[in-house]
Structure 1
């Protein structure tokens, strides 16, 4: 069985062409995994695998995305392999990606078949707290451990033991704790002692719309839906006259703080190359 999978809607022709071009020119073996879509059949699958997902404040597209990852984890558990690399179809690969994804000798040299680990391969270009691990670098890239939330599931590696743990975790989780798959995997779970969440630095992949912010060719309907749901769940602020006076009086302070945050973000952002 191939271990490089790319989640993609079966009719996403532009995105599939993007993936074919990016992977084939580097001779990286991969297989498309047809992304699950909202349906009665998906609802039945949710009832079996992640029952509390029905209660989550997520769009139908986000729930389908969540379950696409679950389905691949199950595929890994039922296979003869000990790890799997999962991409989404808007991923852009960095330099020398073929060294990591054409052969996995480097992975087997650093991990045993009993290890529960996830290796995040991408960056979302935000400030992230992390700390050093004891793992040896691979082709100039180091392994750190995440200590604050990251976003996106465009590229990651997980072990079979991690998949087994995650499937059990999400099957028993309560509805209030369910979030989008990336916020769970690279947010809530980074403090869980049962699994190790690593970050590869510099990141070897990035989402296309993060790389090409001004002229992206792969716009994300899923991201649009997420923002709509989040906006609908926000508590409206009281914008009376006192609030407006306060905002005006503190504008200079907020501008200064914003500048400092921007500099901090640049200093702590995981680089892509």
Structure 2
């Protein structure tokens, strides 16, 4: 099967991060290119930011927790890659420019087309939400155990995306309420399953200063905000649990 293209999401000004990725790819026989990320701070009126619904976010997460311009820029960058995936009708591997390529990466790259055909969306990074990277084993592909995870992954260092799944994500994202990683994690809504591999292929380099985070909010939540947040979290837990139970039953009946 032909190799899939790799796109590295990176601000055009992030020379140190780009050099970091170039050094890792040096000598590897892979197709990759940098995808210029949207700098939200420099483009506060970027057209895609109109999708952000601050009112709905406040209703679910409370006042004083709006998405920052850097988060909107990150969302827009991944959103445009989803559009490219769909318009090109071509599966791809998406990395961020702080991704450390681990030893299994090339094994995954060589089998990426098979993963795209079978699953359409595959996390190749560790999950921050599933302790010890535990999940429901689906099958073995080469050296990889394919798993369905009960929760999301909480960041976007690396994933594989096929056009059908890109279409689902785009259809779901008519409004932006959560950061892009939390949005992808809402698999129980957009039906792009939380599928990952073990061993992992990349992990974020935490030595890089985040291009998104800009310090903790000093806003003190009101009792009403706390209730909204807790209610929203509970509703998500219920929907996620129902979805996962349905997936487990269907898997066992095969």
Structure 1 and Structure 2 fold alike (TM over 0.5): yes
Identify the TM-score tier after normalising by the shorter chain: 0.7 to 0.9
Are residue 8 (structure 1) and residue 10 (structure 2) matched?
Answer: yes
Report the CA distance shift for 1:105/1:194 in structure 2 as closer, same or farther (over 3 A): closer
Q: Is the 8 A contact 2:149 2:195 kept in 1?
A: yes
Paired residues for 1:27-106 under 5 Å: 27-38=29-40, 39=42, 42-47=45-50, 50-52=51-53, 56=57, 57-81=66-90, 83-102=91-110, 104-106=112-114
Q: Deviations over 1:156-180 (max 9, x none)?
A: 0112111111111111x4x6xx111
TM-score (normalizing by structure 1): 0.68
Paired residues for 1:99-114 under 5 Å: 99-102=107-110, 104-107=112-115, 111=118
Distance 2:219 2:144 in 1: 39
Are residue 182 (structure 1) and residue 184 (structure 2) matched?
Answer: no
Distance 1:99 1:199 in 2: 15
Distance 1:36 1:105 in 2: 28
Could you list the runs of 5+ residues in structure 1 that have no partner in the other structure? 210-215, 238-273
- For the residue of structure 1 that corresponds to 2:67, the secondary structure is coil
Aligned length, in residue pairs: 211
TM-score (normalizing by structure 2): 0.73
Distance 1:42 1:24 in 2: 37
Report the CA distance shift for 1:54/1:118 in structure 2 as closer, same or farther (over 3 A): farther
Q: Deviations over 1:57-112 (max 9, x none)?
A: 1110010000000000001111032x22110000001104122225634325x52x
Q: Is the 8 A contact 1:119 1:197 kept in 2?
A: yes
Q: CA RMSD in A?
A: 2.7
Question: After the TM superposition, which parts of structure 1 deviate over 6 Å for at least 4 consecutive aligned residues?
Answer: none
Distance 1:2 1:142 in 2: 20
- For the residue of structure 1 that corresponds to 2:78, the secondary structure is helix
